[in-house]
Structure 1
Amino acid sequence: MKNRSVNKLLHAEIVDMGGMPVRQPFPTQHIEQIDPFLLLHHHVSKLPEHLVPHRSGVGPHPHRGFSPVTFVYQGGVHHRDSRGNNSVVYAGGTQWMNAGMGIVHSERPPADIHAHGGVQEIIQLWVNLPKTHKMNQPQYIPLQAEDTPVLELEGGTTKVKVVSGEFEEVKGPITAPTPVLALRIEMREGAEYAFPIPAHYNAFLYLLDGSVSVEGYGLVEGHHLVLLHQDGEGCTLKATAATRLLLLAGEPLQEPVASHGPFVMNTQTELMQAMRDYQQGKMGILVED
């Protein structure tokens, strides 16, 4: 297997998202997207005891034209939407929503967040939808930790949860509208593994913490994203400190992107239509109880 070379190393700077601090390795002035991936946010916060969970987090807001995906690492996320979905996914689980033609949803800490330590740690990834799927009916897929296949490799020193795509002949439960490989990886210090990546996919690694040595490149520490060139079939990592990381790879869409806030389409005209449709209630209404 030929290892991919490193294209860029991106630091996840802290940005303010409506009063919520998040780490954002992309988009930045250096890189707008990693087709088909549009954005990555890493958020960690402790909910104060006096705050009511169902009034915290992110309130009702719309999406159209892409898939917001949430990987839950600590605590949980309570999702409600205008299509009647109402679900809590806890640590180790993933929420995958194909917004399609439009949906309104909220993302709050669960009512029992303090019983789970009071800390919410999540990564949200925006995956673009191809033009042929942008106006599909919305779809919400909650995947709990216990329903996610786990591979223990090299004597258990490396654990891989397969969320989407196929890894070492194990298929993830979620089938994305466009081919995506999504792996949640934990490596103990000293662990080493060669991760295969489909040769025609764009791919990157994001380290939540710890550090790894990327073969052919060198040391990468937590809160950094490693963008890989499309010049090989995999990437070999050695953990120099215990680490949690995401490996994301996807088939590039190679389509024009027009985006404004929560809407991602192909043209400005489609964006204007999305805004009108939301204002006219065509994406539904979410009333939280």
Structure 2
Amino acid sequence: METNVKKVSAILNPPAPHMVGDGFRVHNFFPSGYKLNMSPFFMLDYNAKIEFSARNEPRGVGVHPHRGFETVTIAYHGAVAHHDSAGNSGIIYPGDVQWMTAASGILHKEYHEENFSKKGGPFQMVQLWVNLPAKDKMSPPKYQGVKHSEVQKFTLSDNAGVIEVIAGDYKGTKGSVSTFSPIEVYNVRLTKGGKTSFNFPSNFNTGFVIIEGNIKVNGSENTKTDQMVHFKNEGEAIEIEALENSVILVLSGEPINEPIASYGPFLMNKPEEIQQAIADYNEGKFGYLEE
């Protein structure tokens, strides 16, 4: 067993926060906060829990384009309303997941949901950017919204907690989200003293974000709220134990070994594809979305 442990490469404190629009105060763990190998995950913005004061005009991010990847929004506290140029809209409440495939191009905006904005309160979210393989970058946009009640759940024995499988497969419990490459995304909710283990292929890039609580990894490494655990690309087995009631976002995926050209909200393979994305956006090919 010991020889097959996926060892911790680093325990990372949240980088200094910055604002995205006026509604999201995020710590960017990668690619700018830390230079981590986390492909197919290209970006992780973590809005640690903060209190937003009540106000009538909802905070948020105005209309912006995306091409070449997927945006994944996972809510823990608060509520976000979103709209896109394909006609999709909805509200993401705690426990909900919005998995948006921008692919060939989409316009998007997201704001604090109206009632949440008027009341104020705790707000905590994660947004991931998931890269797409070159062959899929120009596929049609699509949208997968999963309510918390619809997330597939694996109940651990001994009242240890529950694993919410957003994407991938945990011991036969399959996430309802379809992905373009092999990806595992779970919300793990452990009770104090609860333990569980995972097995991910050695080449999968793997990281855990401690959303809440305090856990021990592989019997030795302690990590706490708002930290990220990054793992080495060797071994397969990871064991965690909750030192208090804890919530952990688990990310693991097969790397996409293709060149990357990124510019703002565009994530492609070659610089000329970025130029094309900018031209297409300027020509209105991403559709229309009212501010």
Report the TM-score, using the length of structure 2 for normalisation: 0.92
Check the 8 A contact 2:56/2:117 in 1, yes or no: no
Q: Which of 94, 104, 126 matches 2:107?
A: 104
Tell me by how many angstroms 1:21 deviates. Answer: 2.3
Tell me by how many angstroms 1:147 deviates. Answer: 0.5
1:211 paired to 2:214: yes
Listed as ranges, the gaps of 5+ residues in structure 1 are: none
Tell me by how many angstroms 1:116 deviates. Answer: 8.1
Q: Which of 257, 268, 271 matches 1:268?
A: 271
Secondary structure of the residue aligned to 2:278 is helix
Correspondence for 1:82: 85
Tell me by how many angstroms 1:3 deviates. Answer: 2.0
Q: Which of 5, 11, 28 matches 1:24?
A: 28
Deviations 1:164-216 (A, max 9, x none): 01001010000111111000011122111112223442111111122111116
1:51 paired to 2:53: no
Correspondence for 1:285: 288
The alpha-carbon distance between structure 1 residues 116 and 237, as it changes in their structure 2 partners (threshold 3 A), is: farther
Deviations 1:74-95 (A, max 9, x none): 1222110000001112110100
* Structure 1 stretches of at least 4 aligned residues deviating more than 6 Å after TM superposition: none
Correspondence for 1:12: 14
Listed as ranges, the gaps of 5+ residues in structure 2 are: none
Rounded Cα–Cα distance in structure 1 between residues aligned with 2:19 and 2:113? 20
Tell me by how many angstroms 1:45 deviates. Answer: 4.0
Counterpart of 2:56, as a letter, is L
Rounded Cα–Cα distance in structure 2 between residues aligned with 1:30 and 1:144? 31
Superposed, 1:239-250 pairs within 5 Å as 239-250=242-253
Rounded Cα–Cα distance in structure 1 between residues aligned with 2:162 and 2:124? 19
Correspondence for 1:34: 38
Deviations 1:26-74 (A, max 9, x none): 2236415411111111114434322323xx2111111001111001111
Check the 8 A contact 2:54/2:120 in 1, yes or no: no
Correspondence for 2:226: 223
Rounded Cα–Cα distance in structure 2 between residues aligned with 1:116 and 1:165? 36
Secondary structure of the residue aligned to 2:158 is helix
Rounded Cα–Cα distance in structure 1 between residues aligned with 2:104 and 2:213? 39
The alpha-carbon distance between structure 1 residues 73 and 251, as it changes in their structure 2 partners (threshold 3 A), is: same
Superposed, 1:176-191 pairs within 5 Å as 176-191=179-194
Deviations 1:107-134 (A, max 9, x none): 1122222688633311001111110111
Check the 8 A contact 1:97/1:141 in 2, yes or no: yes
Q: How many residues align?
A: 286
Secondary structure of the residue aligned to 1:189 is coil
* Aligned alpha-carbon RMSD (Å): 1.9
| Stretch moving more, 231-240 or 9-18 | 9-18
